[in-house]
Amino acid sequence: MQLEAAVAIGRDTRPSSESLSRAVIDGVTALDSKYHDYGLVTTPQLHYIICCCNSEGRYGKPTLEGYYNKLSKAFSDLTKQAECGNKCVNVDGANGIGALKLKEMEKFLHSAITVQIFNDGSQGKLNHLCGADYVKVQQNPPQGIEMKPEERCCSFDGDADRIVYYYNDSAGHFHLLDGDKIATLISTFLKEMLVKVNLSLTMAVVQTAYANGSSTHYLEEIMKVPVYCAKTGVKHLHHKAQEFDIGVYFEANGHGTVLFSKKAEEQIRHLANMEQSNEKRKAAHTLQNLVDLINQTVGDAISDMLVIEAILSLKGFTVQQWDEIYTDLPNRQLKVKVADRKVIDTTDDERRTIKPPGLQEKIDDLTKKYNMSRAFARPSGTEDIVRVYAEADTQENADALAHEVCLAVFHLAGGIGDEPKPL
């Protein structure tokens, strides 16, 4: 029996890497198995290495260098086609392992892109006032990053499996481009390439209940891309995405990737090697490089960043032009403390409640008061709180709806502590 083992750790207060590596080595030694200690890696790099091992190298070389080489070559080949030159992006590393690994990768990129890394772990705590979750929830830039007007910035989370983009416009207003915006950019570009090569492959986008209604409308009504909803948690999105030849899935928090079926990969690579018109061959090569650039094993902040940067370069888009593809509906996320989260049960992929009695009817009545509105309440999977999401035509209405749903949850689902107050 052979077992490949690796350790993925964020940079925070933790046992030493030596003691963690030792634990892995001792564990596999007890099984009388072979081991390989890959040291400190991001969670997505760990998934990549394991996939390479399990596929006997067909997915790639199971080393960090293999990861860097595969992604860098695909990115360089893609951006060579772009009319604009080297791109620069500011990266908030959340004081985590992703910052260290992105620094290692820079030499493999050979100046195809310039990254300026902030919150790189040299000082500051993991995810403290920085990182993807902080930016998404607070709707503000992280501390420790320099932002010039209309300059692209992005934030990883601590173990580098999530990413969100953002920028300040010329008036100084903050704009967030989250997982919905990322999924829309990637799926739109993929569909454009598929049309050019005339491939008949099934393609869909998988979202969760938290996806902004404007993104769903744009994909379904404008781009004519099927959209499916799955329960919160990437394991649910990943499984749904596997049902299609090309499945794009992202949670609003920036965790996601793209899956290609074996059939899709074979057809794309076959087209890239065929004698055909220059435009069709160029599109096929673009798709082939995207297949190689995307980490299909799990959401990967480094891989996703390079995919986004490549697409923006190829389309000649600024971050503001990307943002203007559609306008998010104003929304608000809140939470309510309850005595027991299990009193709430949901259906329709967590978009409607079936317990306690009367709660869903109350939410339905509340949403009728506001234009372009929807709201839902779902229990946390780890603590006794209920998460509430609301969106509407204005921020004032979204805030009011969210507050009223919180009150309904508090009174009908056993809220504890102080009654929720208006924002």
Do 160 and 198 reside in the same domain of the chain? no
CATH number, domain containing residue 356: 3.30.310.50
Q: Is residue 159 marked as binding? A: yes
Domain count, the chain: 4
Do 190 and 288 reside in the same domain of the chain? yes
Q: What share of the chain is helix, strand, coil (3-state, %, to 5)?
A: 40, 20, 40
Q: Is residue 58 marked as binding? A: no
At 380, which amino acid appears?
S
Q: Is residue 76 marked as binding? A: no
Do 154 and 187 reside in the same domain of the chain? no
Do 55 and 70 reside in the same domain of the chain? no
Per-residue tokens: 327: 């306008």
Do 50 and 90 reside in the same domain of the chain? no
- From CA 113, how far away is CA 310, in angstroms rounded? 9
Per-residue tokens: 131: 């990182």
CATH number, domain containing residue 272: 3.40.120
**Looking at the predicted structure, is the pLDDT value of residue 15 above 60?**
no
Mean pLDDT, range 327-349, rounded to an integer: 96
Q: Given pLDDT bands bounded at 50, 70 and 90, which one contains residue 31?
A: low
Residue 81, pLDDT score: 81
Is residue 42 situated within a structural domain? yes
Q: Is residue 180 marked as binding? A: no
Q: Is residue 379 marked as binding? A: yes
- Which structural domain range is residue 50 located in? 7-59
**Looking at the predicted structure, is the pLDDT value of residue 69 above 70?**
yes
Count Cα neighbours of 398 within 13 Å in the Cβ-side half-sphere.
17
Do 92 and 169 reside in the same domain of the chain? yes
At 156, which amino acid appears?
F
> Which of 177, 202, 223 finishes a domain?
177
**pLDDT tens-place string over residues 125-182:** 999 999 999 999 888 999 999 899 999 999 999 999 999 999 999 999 999 999 999 9
Of the ranges 92-106, 275-289, 378-392, which one carries the lowest mean pLDDT score?
275-289
Q: Are 306 and 71 in contact (CB under 8 A)?
A: yes
Is residue 305 situated within a structural domain? no
Of the ranges 198-202, 261-265, 351-355, which one carries the lowest mean pLDDT score?
198-202
Of the ranges 23-27, 320-324, 399-403, which one carries the lowest mean pLDDT score?
23-27
User: To which H or E segment does residue 92 belong?
Assistant: strand 87-92
- From CA 187, how far away is CA 191, in angstroms rounded? 6
**Looking at the predicted structure, is the pLDDT value of residue 4 above 60?**
no
Do 171 and 105 reside in the same domain of the chain? yes
Contacts of 54 (CB under 8 A, 6+ apart): none
Is residue 307 situated within a structural domain? no
Q: Is residue 378 marked as binding? A: yes
3-state secondary structure of 123: coil
Cis preceding-peptide flag for 356 (omega within 30 of 0): yes
Residues 218, 223, 229, 232: is their CA dihedral positive or negative? negative
- From CA 176, how far away is CA 108, in angstroms rounded? 29
Per-residue tokens: 76: 């360089």
Q: Is residue 324 marked as binding? A: no
Residue 86, pLDDT score: 61
Mean pLDDT, range 277-284, rounded to an integer: 87
- From CA 378, how far away is CA 209, in angstroms rounded? 10
**Looking at the predicted structure, is the pLDDT value of residue 321 above 50?**
yes
- From CA 209, how far away is CA 232, in angstroms rounded? 7
Q: Is residue 351 marked as binding? A: no
Do 195 and 257 reside in the same domain of the chain? yes
Mean pLDDT, range 277-301, rounded to an integer: 94
Residue 279, pLDDT score: 85
Do 277 and 201 reside in the same domain of the chain? yes
Per-residue tokens: 250: 């992202």
Give the chain's end-to-end CA distance (angstroms, integer).
58
Do 19 and 77 reside in the same domain of the chain? no
Do 378 and 361 reside in the same domain of the chain? yes
**Looking at the predicted structure, is the pLDDT value of residue 11 above 90?**
no
Q: Quick one: angle between helices 179-197 and 278-293, nearest 10?
A: 140
- From CA 45, how far away is CA 310, in angstroms rounded? 20
> Which of 128, 152, 177 finishes a domain?
177
160: left (phi over 0), alpha (psi -120 to 50) or beta: left
**What does the mean pLDDT of the chain come to?**
91
Q: How many other C-beta atoms can be found within 10 angstroms of the C-beta atom of residue 220?
A: 13
Phi, psi of 266 (to 5 degrees): -65, -45
Which pTM does this prediction carry?
0.90
Q: Is residue 252 marked as binding? A: yes
Of the ranges 182-191, 267-276, 318-327, 378-387, which one carries the lowest mean pLDDT score?
267-276
Residue 18, pLDDT score: 35
